[in-house]
Copies of this chain bind each other. A is one copy, B any other.
Amino acid sequence: MSATRLLVLGVVRMHDGSGGAHGYQVRRELLSWSADKWANVQPGSIYHALKRLALEGLLEQVETPQGKGPDRLAYTLTDAGEDAFQHELQQRIADVDGAAGGAYEFSAALVFITALPRQLALDLLEYRLVQLEGQRANVGTVLDKGIEWGQPAHVNELYRLWLAHCDADISWTSGLIARLRAGEYVMADDAGHNFGSAAPTAMS
């Protein structure tokens, strides 16, 4: 599942309490998170994702009160959708998935982390930390062994850069774990969790 799909699924889920969300709403929400920049979300992709997710039975079209203005199709999560969301979210939080796409594949999940119960989030992050440390060790070893195989010498720089990013991720992850443990943020199992009303971005 691509980052876009998770984002779309997540945003629809947020608005699930208030009768679902339509494409433009999702788009606005994502725009307001600047997701067009860090996750490369274009309007077309959103509508495509909605259709695809509906086709796969993760979303369901709901009745729109009336047809004032343009078309406007709204969607809600099905049970399968909720499962997929949870699964994908947890996977992305826990798994480092070799560099590809880098930070933003993870960011797409981070945005929804409060949809998890606190202890689960902690467990997943702890697991992530282990992975990151493993990765760090790998990259470190390759670097130490020096100019490995035939690769041009300056690919060492690539490794050094990855190492720096690993370190950054490790320390940030530890920090987040600490903050969560200290009770920061309202998680899914906390009193007063209202995932839906996130932003007063508001609309129609």
Residues of A within 8 A of B (CB): 32-33, 37-40, 98-104, 107, 110-111, 113-114, 149-155, 157-158, 160-162, 164-165, 167-169, 171-172, 175-176, 185-186, 198-201
A165-B165, A165-B168 are known contacts. Are A100 and B157 too (CB-CB below 8 A)? no
Given the complex, which residues of B lie within 8 Å of A153, measured CB to CB?
Answer: 185-186
Instruction: Determine if A169 and B158 form an interchain contact, defined as CB atoms under 8 angstroms apart.
Output: no
Contact partner, A110, options B38, B100, B157, Cβ 8 Å: B157
The 20 listed contacts between A and B (C-beta, < 8 Å) are A32-B150, A33-B151, A37-B98, A37-B100, A101-B102, A102-B103, A103-B165, A107-B161, A110-B161, A111-B154, A111-B155, A113-B154, A114-B154, A149-B199, A150-B201, A151-B198, A153-B186, A160-B172, A161-B172, A164-B172
Number of this chain's copies in the assembly equals 2
Assess whether A40 is in contact with B101, with CB atoms less than 8 Å apart. Answer: yes
